[in-house]
Structure 1
Amino acid sequence: MKVTLSLTHRCNLACRYCYAGNSQKPDMPLATAKQCIDVALARIQPGESLDLGLFGGEPLLRFDLIKEIVEYIHRRALQTSTPVRIGITTNGTLLSPEILDYFADQGINLCFSIDGPQKIHERNRLFRNGNGSFAEVVRNLELALKRLQKVEVNAVIGPDTLADAPDSLDFFIQTGVPVIHFNPNIKAIWPHESFAHFKDVYDRMAEQYITCFRNGEEIALNVIDSKAVLFVKGGYSPSDKCAMGDGEWGIAPSGNIYPCERFIGEDDDHTFCLGNIQSGCDQTLQNALRGKRGNHRNDCTTCRYNRFCMSWCGCTNWFMSGASDMPAPVLCAMEKATIEAARRVFETLVRENNDLFADHLFNYVNVGDQRCRACRKREKPLRDQLGHTTL
């Protein structure tokens, strides 16, 4: 189960595309956070794990609360024998060596929100006084890469930064970031003429990815990896898809429960609010929500990209099309470009028998026999082990 606690609506930045809102409502009380953890642990089935995200606003404004939450969840996880993963998403401006030491000691995964080099990052990610945030973020990113075992970045792509995404990817590679996420600005108005640029942008990123693996440099890039693993699996399985409130919760500082943290916003539009952590989920609302998830766009069923298309993400669909079960045309264009770019990567590196790429994919996919690279290489070529998937 995945639970994301939005600890505060407050933030020291004023990002132009922020979907967390500018609410001045109170921060999450510790008692509410503890209750969220208890309820989540009670719902988990034997053998399952809890993925706990700490979010905002800017969660590091409440580092004191973070420490209390981490101490509590470790204790409760030990009592219930539940594996727990803790992750924090931050704008990166408030980190210090002391905070990084704490995250390292506690095994916390850290994700930076950074859009690329300074000229790209500061188009949208500014302090409230209008000053740029890049210098602080990149300084702390470099410190985190030295101190922590796992550091990720999340870059938002909008109509104004789409063409620059390959430059951002190059910056992250040169900086040494091992895990890179690019996600679209789901609240932006994407002009139709931008659709034609998706293919070129993702093809360029595919070439950068191929170059890394040819040079023996492993990177994790969501827009490629998320599709490449599907070519091994044969497409999305039901368990991969958005459960819209059943397998994932985003919880506002007030304790209100949403299917995803992206729906929290100002916590005043209760269209997708399922209830409150104190009173529990409203079963009538939850049942109604189950009928609004997935993809009910008829022409998608015959599309050759359907097995590999993330057309089922409820929050993405809602913000882009106005309906949680209807993918927008911009998502369709973006997904097609992503799938084709990933297929190019997959076919190229499989054809070249790139063992680093094989190991990379085997780390994502449960393929049964997880033998070492040398054993696999001796027995049969990479192309025979990974197979070949056509659209």
Structure 2
Amino acid sequence: MGALTLIRHNAHRVDVDGHAMLMHVPTTSLFELDGVARDVYDLFRRAPAVDPDLMRAELGPRHGPDTLSECLQSFLALDILRDAEAADIPRPVVKVEEIPLSTIILNVNTGCNLACTYCYKEDLTTPAKGQKMGFQTAKASFELLLKQAHARDRVNVVFFGGEPLSNMALIREVVAYALPRAAELGKTVDFSLTTNATLLTPELVDWFDTHRFALTVSMDGPKALHDANRKTVGGKGTYDLVARNVRMLLARYRSRPVGVRVTLTRGVTDVIGIHDHLKNELGFHEVGFGPATSGPIAVFNLDQEALKRAFEDMKTLGRRYVEAACRGENIGFSNMHQLLTDIAQGTKKAVPCGAGLGMLAVDKEGELHLCHRFVGSNQPTYGNVETGIDIPKLAGFIETAQDRSAFGCKTCRIRSICAGGCYHESYARQGDPFAPVWHYCDLMRDWVDFGIESYVRIMQANPSFFRSQLEPRITRSGPAREVLQ
């Protein structure tokens, strides 16, 4: 054996309550280091290169040659160690030859009856000026989904806006068409919808229940916080109406758990209070938080200090989550669910999400966008539902997105979880969908370390939590998260 060196960007150690955990960065796999592995890893962290003589001198008195050799071979197989003279290995780029869609997002109306101050939608307008999608476009969208999902047993249709309930006539038509059409091909179709809840009625709730919609409500917490940003077009707060409709929804809806998405903005960052209100007082199954950092009106965006405080508050709530999980309870914090799912499953992503690969969004003209966030933007489209996907153009985007070495992602320890971050966040903040979300990088690395600590503590106290809480959630989730393996 010649001299070996540690490939630092392929391994990351986190110590948790006496357990030395090593994350294999390329696969997000977790290993617990035993005594010999700890010593070998620590030696390579101290020395830029280790040859047999240094190995014997440093570790020979404590570990036998066979034990050391076995450990070295394990690290070599994981590409945690490499020949010190070996050339760097370029990041492999998977060629994209087809687009295996699982999800189509229909932007059914650009009109919305709210005027939320932080809304990122560039095509958003008032209800009177809203441009609604027609049935022929929606039908062609579903047929494109079926064509691209020929190898899948299950597909998903997402209704988005504006406020999608403002075009219920189209939603009903699509469901009536999609169910028997999918059945002809032996497929199951799921429906998802995000709503501001202002237009919900008992009749609509019962109809959604019958068709097993995956429903998510946009709501920002108690009255004072919610009404700060989520106002009608006329400027009136909407909490009273939304809370009343939510209570009705949660009392009647039985087919699937209902979650809520909260947007954290300047002045609306009370993570603990918001979660307690939405989960414990209103009764949502899960609460998820999304910080606003790149909205069109900068005054509402979280600056770096506010963003850091928000993440600290999310970690405080995460500790409550861990304590409850160790007791076998689930407090419904979806950000922690997702983090622990990534760690438990060993997420291995070459691109940040399914946008453009497993999922496309359609505007009223039938143009195909990377995702719903890009509808109405000045970013390129990738074909039309009538003429099909421009596969070479879309494949070029996905292949470019796989290698962000020029931005420093190659050596980031969370690259297989983050993969550079949200395309739209990068586009909105930096004008480039491939530029990493720099303002999140350190915070996300710390968040993943927190997730590793949480995972280990739950595994030590109550490993059945992952089977009882995370696996059922994965199987009942909405749009599949597509990643290149």
Mark yes or no: TM-score above 0.5: yes
**Which of 116, 119, 125 does residue 221 from structure 2 map onto?**
116
**Which of 67, 83, 87 does residue 188 from structure 2 map onto?**
83
Could you tell me whether the CA contact under 8 Å between 1:2 and 1:247 is conserved in 2? yes
Bigger mean CA deviation after superposition, 312-321 or 94-103: 312-321
1:35 maps to: 140
CA distance in 2 between counterparts of 1:365 and 1:63 reads 28
**Which of 14, 17, 29 does residue 115 from structure 2 map onto?**
14
**Which of 330, 334, 352 does residue 461 from structure 2 map onto?**
352
Could you tell me whether the CA contact under 8 Å between 1:198 and 1:337 is conserved in 2? no
Q: Secondary structure at the match of 1:27?
A: coil
For 1:79, give the aligned amino acid. Answer: E
Q: How does 1:1-80 map to 2 (within 5 A)?
A: 1-20=102-121, 21-23=123-125, 24=129, 26-80=131-185
Q: How does 1:1-391 map to 2 (within 5 A)?
A: 1-20=102-121, 21-23=123-125, 24=129, 26-148=131-253, 149=255, 150-162=257-269, 164-174=270-280, 175-188=282-295, 189-214=301-326, 216-238=328-350, 241-264=352-375, 267=376, 269-294=377-402, 296-297=404-405, 298-309=407-418, 311-353=420-462, 355-363=464-472
TM-score, normalisation: structure 1: 0.85
CA distance in 2 between counterparts of 1:232 and 1:78 reads 34
CA pair 234-284 structure 1, distance change in 2 beyond 3 A = closer
Could you tell me whether the CA contact under 8 Å between 2:216 and 2:259 is conserved in 1? yes
Bigger mean CA deviation after superposition, 336-345 or 11-20: 336-345
Could you tell me whether the CA contact under 8 Å between 2:205 and 2:249 is conserved in 1? yes
Q: Secondary structure at the match of 1:98?
A: helix
For 1:171, give the aligned amino acid. Answer: H
- Alpha-carbon deviation of 1:53? 0.4
For 2:182, give the aligned amino acid. Answer: A
TM-score, normalisation: structure 2: 0.69
CA distance in 2 between counterparts of 1:50 and 1:16 reads 33
- Alpha-carbon deviation of 1:10? 0.5
CA distance in 1 between counterparts of 2:454 and 2:204 reads 38
Bigger mean CA deviation after superposition, 111-120 or 217-226: 217-226
Question: Deviations 1:268-326 (Å, cap 9, x if unpaired)?
Answer: x4423112222333345324322442461543322233333353432232223322222
Q: Which runs of 5+ in 2 are unaligned?
A: 1-101, 296-300, 476-485
1:375 maps to: none
For 1:19, give the aligned amino acid. Answer: Y
CA pair 47-287 structure 1, distance change in 2 beyond 3 A = closer
Question: Deviations 1:314-365 (Å, cap 9, x if unpaired)?
Answer: 2232223322222122221342243233234323322222633542133357
Q: Secondary structure at the match of 1:87?
A: strand
Identity of aligned residues (%): 25
Question: Deviations 1:162-198 (Å, cap 9, x if unpaired)?
Answer: 3x12221111221221122212325235423334324
For 1:7, give the aligned amino acid. Answer: V
CA pair 144-137 structure 1, distance change in 2 beyond 3 A = same
Could you tell me whether the CA contact under 8 Å between 1:120 and 1:161 is conserved in 2? yes
- Alpha-carbon deviation of 1:221? 2.6
Aligned structure 1 segments of 4 or more residues deviating by more than 4 angstroms:
none
Could you tell me whether the CA contact under 8 Å between 2:293 and 2:302 is conserved in 1? no
Bigger mean CA deviation after superposition, 85-94 or 174-183: 174-183
- Alpha-carbon deviation of 1:157? 1.8
Q: RCO (CA 8 Å, sep 6+): is it higher in 1 or 2?
A: 2
Bigger mean CA deviation after superposition, 180-189 or 142-151: 180-189
CA distance in 2 between counterparts of 1:68 and 1:92 reads 21
For 2:387, give the aligned amino acid. Answer: S
Q: How many residues align?
A: 361
Question: Deviations 1:19-46 (Å, cap 9, x if unpaired)?
Answer: 2233435310111111111111111132
CA distance in 1 between counterparts of 2:395 and 2:113 reads 38
For 1:355, give the aligned amino acid. Answer: S
Could you tell me whether the CA contact under 8 Å between 1:321 and 1:327 is conserved in 2? no
Could you tell me whether the CA contact under 8 Å between 1:212 and 1:218 is conserved in 2? yes
CA distance in 2 between counterparts of 1:253 and 1:186 reads 28
CA distance in 1 between counterparts of 2:245 and 2:462 reads 37
Could you tell me whether the CA contact under 8 Å between 2:103 and 2:156 is conserved in 1? yes
1:372 maps to: none
Q: Secondary structure at the match of 1:7?
A: strand
CA distance in 1 between counterparts of 2:115 and 2:291 reads 18
For 1:170, give the aligned amino acid. Answer: D
Could you tell me whether the CA contact under 8 Å between 2:225 and 2:268 is conserved in 1? yes
CA distance in 2 between counterparts of 1:225 and 1:312 reads 18
CA pair 172-11 structure 1, distance change in 2 beyond 3 A = same
Bigger mean CA deviation after superposition, 129-138 or 337-346: 337-346
CA pair 186-281 structure 1, distance change in 2 beyond 3 A = farther
For 1:325, give the aligned amino acid. Answer: F
Q: Secondary structure at the match of 1:123?
A: helix
Could you tell me whether the CA contact under 8 Å between 1:229 and 1:364 is conserved in 2? no
- Alpha-carbon deviation of 1:263? 0.2
- Rg larger in 1 or in 2? 2
Could you tell me whether the CA contact under 8 Å between 2:258 and 2:285 is conserved in 1? yes
- Alpha-carbon deviation of 1:215? 5.5
